[in-house]
Structure 1
Amino acid sequence: MKDLNFTLAVSNEEQRRYDNECLMDDVAEMKEFLQNIDDGFINTNQMMNTVIEELRLMRISLESGKGPVTKPKQIAQSDLTDPLIADDSDFRGSNKKIVRKSYKTTINVACIPFVLNEMDQEGYDRKDKQLVILSKLSECTNILKFYGLANLDGLNHLVVEWAQYGTLRETYEAYDIPWTRKLHIATDICRAITFLHSAEIYHHDLQCENVMLTDHLAPKLANFEYTRRASIINMTRRFHWLAPEKMTDKNPRYTAKCEIFSFGMLLWELTFGKVPYQGWDMDKLSAHVLQGKREKIKFGLAANKRDSDIQKCLEYVIREAWKQKPQDRISLLNLFNTLERLQTKYKNVVEHELDLLPQKSLDLDGTGTPIISDADAEGEGMELPECENFTLDFEIDTMITLEEGINAHKNRDYEKAWKCFEYHALNGSACAKHWMGYYLWGGRSVEKNQEEAARLFKEAADKGIHDAQLRYAFTLQKSLGKKKERDEFIKYLTLAADGGNSTAQFNLGDAYIKGKLNIPKDEKKGLYYLRLSVLQDHPNAVKLLEKRK
């Protein structure tokens, strides 16, 4: 297990300004979101807003160097005793200097040597403030808990929560993690990131090496940095998880979208149990990623429907998180909702099915032997034979990508876009089916056929395309007098709303508040959906909420 580095490093003024600018775009949304979720974020009776406000004031004091000098809790050496049952893993770290102790006889903690230079008063006070922030961040149940400082035999030590399994990377290298357990881990890590963002803090280094696992396999986010310190060593270590915009020399600001990309890479690492682009140097990796290429996503055979559902969910979230353009990436709110819904569906799985498995128990990627990077395998065995008359006896497909087709639509090149959507729909793309339905419904660049459009909308909707869920629901408008069609309308409208579609959120919120479509009035649920819609600036939702004030 690597040494736990709690580095709340404050970088230069320019970076802090960038961080604050981009964070403010997301914080309001996060705060509103957290108010609607009270499970698993805070482990005390404090209100969420109180904790966030305290963290904000602490952060301002740390950055400005002003404000009262705060001190982390001091733990007496007498409160830290040797464990009743010793274990070989009680001494960890590169020099075996991280020691397991029992805090107040019942709590397993790690004691980590920590240097405080008392001669540098300014630096000393700053570290104290950093540790107080770390203690407050520990209010989140999925962030590694910091208990305080202790002087053990004349040496200062950080006292933090003991992580029995070490890092998440160490765990997946030693065991196979069942799919349901991976879903729980992914959701809980996302919960911690959501809390950090609400407190106007980015992690900056999301990877499995920085997630600790307790004896109950609960993930705890650790080793986060208050803001980025862009050293060559740090950049090299985290390069495999970096967003493409951070790989260039232009030094763009670090935003929530950068963090979401890195979380997508962390999820890929967790999913397939290996470091992404293993063995690649920075030049090769950046060239690959900047061209829009990624690690492959290929699963082995799922043992049951539950495993299949989880694989599909993880693939969807990973692909949505690591899109090339930051503005196209999934929002943290929608990302968490997607994971949390499936976690809730499978929350009653029997405990033994969540236990770690011996290595090679699962065929994660269809090979059973994930030794090299899947992305590397693209070129393996593809050399052409040295033959003068060698010819290819098949046609190379030159159809544009779906993303290019969508861009053609935005540029009003509807004929080009239609051909692209039709091609990709015939090849099974659910997103393309949605677009094909959109063109058929309105008769854009093709003969109108609303019956076929409705069929395509439903196919895409059942594959999880949220815009298609909304459009399919509205194809049923003329039949809402019938109970079957009305129930179908509400079902797909709810799916779209829960998937983050602001129009669906507004309509569903309006329906619950006013009792439309024979839906029982439910003001709390109606306001919940309206607020989600307002977060995306839906004008009708904004107006409706304003009227209710």
Structure 2
Amino acid sequence: MVDIKEATCLAGDVVGSFVPLIDVATTTIKKIIEICEAADYNQNICDVLTVRVKITGAALESLRRRKQKRKENDKVFHDAFHKFIYVLEEIKKFTTKISKIHGFKRYTTAISVKEKFIRLTDEYDKAMNDLHFTMAVANDEQRRIEKEALEEDIVEFEEYLKTMDKKVDNIDGKVDNILDGVQYIQNCINDKVVLHGAKKIDSIDLVSPPRPNPDDVRSGGSSNVVIRKIFKGQEVACKKISNTEEEMKSNPDVQKHLKILTILSDCNHILKFYGVSKIGIDSMMIFEWAGRGTLRELYEKKDINWHCKVRIALNICRGLVFLQQAEILHHDLKCENILMTHTLEPKIYKFDSARYDYGKTTSVGNKLDDTVRWLAPEKLSNANTRYTTQCEIFSFSMLLWELVFEKVPYKNMEKIEMIREHVIKGGREIIRFGKSTPEISKLQEGYRRIIYDSWKHNPHERLSFLKILDMLEELHSSISCMFDDDLPDLLPDKKLNLDGTKEDDLDDDLEIPDDVDPNISITLDEGVLAFRTGDHQKAWKCFEYHASNDNVTAKFWKGRYLWEGLHDDVKEREEGKALIKEAADRGNPDAQLRYAFILLKKLKQGDNQKIFMDYITKSAIEGENIAAQYHLGDIYYKGKCEIPENKSEGIKWLRKAALRNYSKAIKFLNELKIDIYGLENE
């Protein structure tokens, strides 16, 4: 496949000047389909757009094969093809945002998503008409289906936004930095930069508990042991690790793992990691102490009351939503990998199998082991299938089943291969409750619904994590109303017949134009490259051409050239300012930042100060422009531009830019001796 940046500059025979454009469009369509198929949220909208682009993809392949000449104006067709590619790029950006938490939460209202969708589909139909791809233009029936899909997702989208605001553990906004932090860490590893992955704890500060307990030394799995110590008045778990001190300093993977454990510790529902130390000759990782051991160990010793089960499930889900916002998948969810504090608070731990680069998660391997009991059918069918959020949701449903019935799934199936075949064929565990009060029965029914809707065979039919969170919140609220302050024993002795049974249920018409001027085929990327190398005349021709086809990015660049006089030394043309503002109002983050700085010279006139802050803030938040984030941090920290000084707000924005490797922000924070990750108080 021809690279997108090179495709449209190629020239060839009669068909050659259009084949690269077809390649660009085909590549973008494939990417849109890939994004939509992996969507965690707004799946109806994504499905509608997938249908649209798939129809066009078939039309493009037909166009490529037939290679027939056109009688129409070649340049008109060529221009139309560029506009079509612009629309595809906008669809790709839109689906990327609305399909994941970190993207859609940048929309402040659901109506803005609706307006964007309608505008994109209208522009798409216009592009199809201009190219005479009439079979790809929506008819009345398709429009009706699209409207229904949109309205259904919009209702849920509004709930998502409310959930994000009220129910998700956002750690005062710090979760927004986690994703940037993970990417920053990965870049450091790739560039072979030493991370100094974890805080070093002096072994003198690790003291023995004043009152010894029988479980002061626990097995940590494999040959590892976990020792209870006291660190700064807090109980901590010292876990022996096989890596030497030198390996921890030099091994990039170890550094990355330790650093990410550190930044994840901000979440109350993830086991807190303090740093590394030594006890004797042994290297140790220092975690918070979970007095009751794993959730599996707890339910094997005690029955867990329904009120407590729902609260445990709710808090685990909160932790998983936190991880999802950071685009981290745990890969090994089960009660054995949840630790419990003395106050019965669950802590997600054991991130050995977790993956931090979203979209690059791989299989758990072809070797079948006990993990099969919690794995999704799509992973069991093909171990090389990418592990997705939907796989994680399936595993969480099995964890919920395990928690409620207090036993590992498929306990009576001894052979792992039998479990695999059973699940692949659509079989699941039995959900059958024993006798209980009417109030508890109602609660059980709600819990049953969550499990059923989360372990569905089709991944896209499973509940989202935010929906599960909302349903668990509702169940937890109903329990609080049910018992008020008179709660029953949370951990009664082991005697309940939870399911009332020991049985298992195994049933369960296109043409290509002739000669086209190859000079027209210069891409926007090449235009930007020409700008950077100082070839302003070539860049100007590129931006002027693409701007005439209503490309927003090109309009920004044309406006910048006119405002700064880069091609003819005539500066500050009003036409340039108008083009930059138009691009800014249409969502281009570079244009938003540039327009803000145009207003900076006349900040005291009218409402220019407010408008200036509005545009630079939009660029920083919606467009995630790192230069805007840096300047916003500088403004707040130093109280510039007649904005009141707000050091904490300034540091927040400086960290955002630094975590995305913006050198000025990194230097700024280093000079202030402020930790990039916000861990200086640890």
Q: CA, structure 1 residues 27+167, in 2 after alignment: closer, same or farther (shift >3 Å)?
A: same
Q: Specify the SS of the correspondent of 2:228.
A: strand
Q: Look up the equivalent residue of 2:376 and give its one-letter code.
A: A
- Give 1 or 2 for the bigger CA radius of gyration: 2
Q: Which residue of structure 1 aligns with residue 257 of structure 2?
A: 130
**Match runs of 1:22-101 below 5 Å:** 22=38, 25-28=99-102, 31=105, 33=160, 36-37=164-165, 41-42=169-170, 45=172, 47-62=174-189, 64-93=190-219, 97-101=225-229
| Distance in 1 separating the partners of 2:104 and 2:368 | 28
Separation of aligned partners in 2, 1:233 and 1:248: 10
Of stretches 310-319 and 34-43 in structure 1, the one that deviates more from structure 2 is: 34-43
**CA root-mean-square deviation:** 3.0
Opposite residue 55 of structure 1, the aligned amino acid is V
Work out the CA distance in 1 between the residues paired with 2:362 and 2:320: 19
Provide the rounded CA distance (Å) in 1 between the counterparts of 2:36 and 2:212. 46
Structure 1 residues 300 and 21 mapped into 2: Cα distance closer, same or farther (>3 Å)?
A: closer
Which residue does the alignment assign to 2:371?
Answer: 238
Q: Which residue among 329, 332, 356 is the counterpart of 2:491?
A: 356
Q: Deviations over 1:432-479 (max 9, x none)?
A: xxxxxxxxxxxxxxxxxxxxxxxxxxxxxxxxxxxxxxxxxxxxxxxx
How many Å apart are 1:51 and its aligned residue?
A: 3.7
- Aligned match of 2:270 in 117, 124, 143? 143
Matched, 1:282 2:416: yes
Shift of 1:77: 1.2
Alignment partners' CA distance in 1, 2:418 and 2:362:
24
Correspondence 1:311 to 2:444: yes
Cα separation, 1, equivalents of 2:362 and 2:239? 22
Q: 1:120 to 1:135 in 2, by over 3 A?
A: closer
The aligned counterpart of 1:194 is: 321
The AA in structure 2 aligned to 1:364 is L
TM-score computed with the length of structure 1 as normaliser: 0.59
Aligned to 1:253: 386
Question: Do structure 1's residue 103 and structure 2's residue 177 form an aligned pair?
Answer: no
Q: Secondary structure at the match of 2:433?
A: coil
| Aligned 8 A contact 1:112 1:157 in 2 | yes
Q: Measured at CA, do residues 250 and 217 of structure 1 come closer, stay the same or move farther in structure 2, by a change above 3 Å?
A: closer
Q: How many residues align?
A: 352
Q: Equivalences for 1:162-201 in 2 at 5 Å?
A: 162-201=289-328
Contact 1:26 1:256 in 2 (8 A): no
Contact 2:276 2:283 in 1 (8 A): yes
Partner Cα distance (2:479, 2:277) in 1: 41
2:454–2:462 contact (8 Å) kept in structure 1: yes
Supply the distance in 1 between the matched residues of 2:475 and 2:276 (Cα, whole angstroms): 39
Map 1:485-496 → 2, pairs under 5 A: none
SS of residue in 1 equivalent to 2:370:
helix
Alpha-carbon separation, structure 2, partners of 1:318 and 1:339: 11
Pairing 1:421-500 to 2, within 5 Å after superposition? none
What is the Cα deviation at residue 103 of structure 1? 0.8
CA distance in structure 2 between the aligned counterparts of 1:88 and 1:30, rounded to whole angstroms = 49
Q: Report if aligned partners of 1:145, 1:160 keep a CA contact under 8 Å in 2.
A: yes
The 1:240–1:302 alpha-carbon spacing in structure 2 relative to 1, beyond 3 Å, is same
Quote the sequence identity (%): 35
Q: 1:60 to 1:291 in 2, by over 3 A?
A: same
Deviation (angstroms), 1:39: 5.5
Mark the CA change 1:232 to 1:28 in structure 2 (over 3 Å): closer, same or farther.
closer
* Aligned amino acid, residue 26 of structure 1: K
Cα distance in structure 2, aligned partners of 1:126 and 1:339: 36
Residue from 430, 434, 442 that aligns with 1:296:
430
1:374 match: 504
Within a 5 Å distance, the mapping from 1:387-398 to structure 2 comes to none
What CA deviation, in whole Å up to 9, does each residue of 1:105-128 have, x standing for no partner?
x21110011232466588523312
- Tell me how far apart the structure 1 counterparts of residues 104 and 286 of structure 2 sit (CA, whole Å): 30
Name the SS for the 2:381 alignment partner: coil
Separation in structure 2 between the aligned mates of residue 75 and residue 21 of structure 1, nearest angstrom:
45
- Counterpart-to-counterpart distance in 1, 2:478 and 2:167: 15
Deviation of 1:156 after TM superposition, in Å, equals: 1.1
The 2-side partners of 1:154 and 1:196 are apart by 34
In the other structure, the counterpart of 1:331 is: 464
Cα distance in structure 1, aligned partners of 2:277 and 2:249? 21
The amino acid across from 1:128 in the alignment is Q
- In structure 2, give the amino acid aligned to 1:340: E
Secondary structure in structure 2 of the residue aligned to 1:226? coil
The alpha-carbon distance between structure 1 residues 231 and 326, as it changes in their structure 2 partners (threshold 3 A), is closer
Instruction: After TM superposition, give the deviation of residue 161 of structure 1 in Å.
Output: 1.1
Map of 1:265 onto structure 2: 398
- Unpaired runs of 5+ residues, structure 2, are 1-33, 40-95, 107-159, 356-360, 509-682
Structure 1 unaligned spans of 5+: 1-17, 379-400, 402-549
Moved >6 Å (runs of 4+): 18-21
The one-letter amino acid paired with 1:289 is V
Q: Look up the SS of the partner of 1:343 in the other structure.
A: helix
Offset at 1:22? 4.1
Cα pair 2:363 2:387 within 8 Å, conserved: no
Instruction: Report the 3-state secondary structure (helix = DSSP H, G, I; strand = E; otherwise coil) of the residue aligned with 1:151.
Output: strand
1:181–1:354 contact (8 Å) kept in structure 2: no
The whole-number CA distance in structure 2 between the counterparts of 1:135 and 1:300 is 43
CA distance in 1, matches of 2:399, 2:176: 29
Question: Does structure 2 retain, via aligned residues, the 8 Å contact 1:27–1:199?
Answer: no
For residue 166 of structure 1, give the secondary structure of its aligned residue in structure 2. Answer: coil
Distance across 2 between alignment mates of 1:351 and 1:235: 46
SS in 1 for 2:251: helix
